[in-house]
Structure 1
Amino acid sequence: MNQIELTATAFELGIDTRITLAAAGLLFILALVLGVWKYQQISTSPDATAHVYVDIAHRASLLYSFATLLLAVFTELSAWPTAVNLAADIVILIFFLAAIVSYIVHGLLRDTTNQFDGQTSNPGTHISMIALIIGEVGGFLVLFTGFLACQF
């Protein structure tokens, strides 16, 4: 075994981290594709702008892809079992993806420029936001406390 092979096996990432990194890559690819859609709208619009939710979907995908890299770091450095870390990651990622999908839908339908205004908002929007807050904050707290338990 040469030095490169030895180094690669010495630092093998856990499956929870590898899955989270793969999700980061997929979110980044989605962001790039959404950037093409945004550009298409900008280039064909009389005022050189994309629909607000196309813009939001693009930016959210970019931000969530990098946030997912951060999740992968905390996952890899966590003291908790793989299943616990992966469950926390999946909860967060489901909410990241659900948000992006809702932005894409609003961008396709062009039905609103503010999903929280009185005319387009509904009780389901607020319930889903509460679930999102609990899922994302709670999921990250699992990973962060795992990091603290392992590293301190």
Structure 2
Amino acid sequence: MAVSAETAWVLLAAGSIFVWALVLGVWKWQAMTTAADGRAHPYVDIAHRSALLYSFATAMIAIFVELSGWPAAVNATAAGAMVVMFVITIANYTRLGLTRETENQMHNPPPALRLVLAALILGEIGSFCVLLTGFAVEQL
């Protein structure tokens, strides 16, 4: 069964994020086995878990892309925006795990973080609402 090109790209992104999650899991395991308290740095753990969750969220997004009634460009743009935001988030958690500069990025955050978080919130929720509406229009 063939899927649309935009769905295939989203599924490729989901699979790539899942592989990233698996690699982060190895890092987390290695960190746990060498730490005195048996725990990885909090952001190593968060990066691993978020990558796992985002990989499955991205696979779910692919279903909505495939079943949406909107034009391919609308679906691809909405899905692409979410995937980019997921990747930025995982990359930031990975960076925080590597640098070990904080255990809570919300403690004394730089002023620009509020803008980044607002963009993430609006982009992810808005983009998914576009796909959800496209699904409802086409399927209901």
TM-score by length of structure 1 reads 0.91
Alignment: residue pair count: 140
What letter matches 2:47 in structure 1? A
Which residue of structure 1 lines up, in the alignment, with residue 81 of structure 2? 91
Q: Say whether residues 1:111 and 2:114 are aligned partners.
A: no
Q: What's the CA shift for 1:12? A: 1.6
Counterpart CA distance in 1 for 2:87 and 2:127 is 15
Q: What's the CA shift for 1:114? A: 0.5
What SS is found at the alignment partner of 2:77?
A: helix
Which residue of structure 2 lines up, in the alignment, with residue 136 of structure 1? 124
Correspondent of 1:124 among 88, 112, 123: 112
Counterpart CA distance in 2 for 1:34 and 1:44 is 15
Alignment of 1:3-152 (within 5 A): 11-118=1-108, 121-152=109-140
1:56-87: CA deviation from partner (whole Å, max 9, x where unpaired): 00000000000001100000000001111000
Structure 2: gaps of 5 or more residues: none
RMSD: 0.6
What letter matches 1:26 in structure 2? S
Structure 1: gaps of 5 or more residues: 1-10
Counterpart CA distance in 2 for 1:29 and 1:88 is 23
| Percent of residue pairs bearing the same amino acid type | 48
TM-score by length of structure 2 reads 0.99
User: Which has the greater radius of gyration?
Assistant: 1
Counterpart CA distance in 2 for 1:69 and 1:37 is 24
What SS is found at the alignment partner of 2:36?
A: coil
What SS is found at the alignment partner of 2:120?
A: helix
What letter matches 1:29 in structure 2? V
Counterpart CA distance in 2 for 1:146 and 1:12 is 20
Q: Which runs of 4+ in 1 moved over 6 A?
A: none
Counterpart CA distance in 2 for 1:40 and 1:126 is 33
